[in-house]
């Protein structure tokens, strides 16, 4: 150890091989993460959905229209497909990323969705209302019955 003018000791110099190996290790990590993260595989997922027109969302973002080849999605992560139309029950499909022999794959490869119309739950009640003026008392009802009976007897 060397002693400075003021009586302090200097730490020993760090060897060059340590810096070199740390630099190369860091460089390797940057390159590997760029190769794995930047070049994620893509996969086309076929979508058959109806009734049209309907709104489609992939991972929360609206999709204007579905290409004939299908939706192009990253295969290295799962996705949520959301389908909705006014007057119909919305439906969600999860497309999962699974490890395949050649890398990550999305399953299912084709999504089929048929939205169902919203129906009223419960029983329907048929109600007929009469105006207050047409409601008759029991006495008036008996008089009408007697008149009808008299007319039947006359005939």
SS3 at position 17: helix
What radius of gyration, in Å, describes the C-alpha atoms of the chain?
40
* pLDDT score, position 56: 96
Max alpha carbon distance in the chain (Å)? 144
CB 103 within 8 A of CB 41: yes
Q: What is the pLDDT along the chain (155 residues), one digit of tens a residue?
A: 556 666 666 666 655 555 555 555 555 554 444 445 556 799 999 999 999 999 999 999 999 888 889 999 999 999 999 999 999 999 999 999 999 999 999 999 999 999 999 986 666 666 766 555 555 677 777 787 888 788 777 76
SS3 at position 134: helix
Distance separating the N- and C-terminal Cα atoms of the chain: 139
* pLDDT score, position 34: 47
Q: Please tell me the pTM assigned to this model.
A: 0.54
What six digits make up the tokens of 6? 């003021």
Outline where 68-133 has alpha helix (H): none
* pLDDT score, position 133: 58
Half-sphere exposure of 117 (CA within 13 A, CB side): 2
* pLDDT score, position 53: 92
């Amino acid at each position: 150890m060397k002693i400075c003018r003021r009586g302090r000791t200097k730490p020993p110099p760090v060897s060059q091989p340590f810096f070199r190996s740390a630099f190369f290790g860091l460089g390797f990590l940057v390159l590997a993460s760029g190769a794995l993260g930047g070049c994620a595989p893509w996969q086309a997922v076929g979508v058959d959905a109806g009734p049209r027109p309907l709104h489609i969302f992939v991972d929360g973002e609206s999709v204007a229209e579905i290409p004939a080849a299908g939706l192009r999605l990253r295969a290295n992560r799962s996705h949520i497909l959301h389908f909705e139309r006014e007057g119909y029950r919305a439906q969600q499909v999860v497309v999962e990323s699974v490890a395949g022999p050649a890398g990550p794959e999305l399953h299912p490869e084709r999504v089929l969705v048929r939205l169902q119309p919203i129906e009223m739950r419960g029983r329907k009640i048929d109600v007929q209302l009469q105006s207050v003026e047409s409601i008759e008392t029991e006495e008036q009802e008996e008089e009408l019955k007697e008149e009808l009976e008299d007319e039947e007897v006359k005939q």
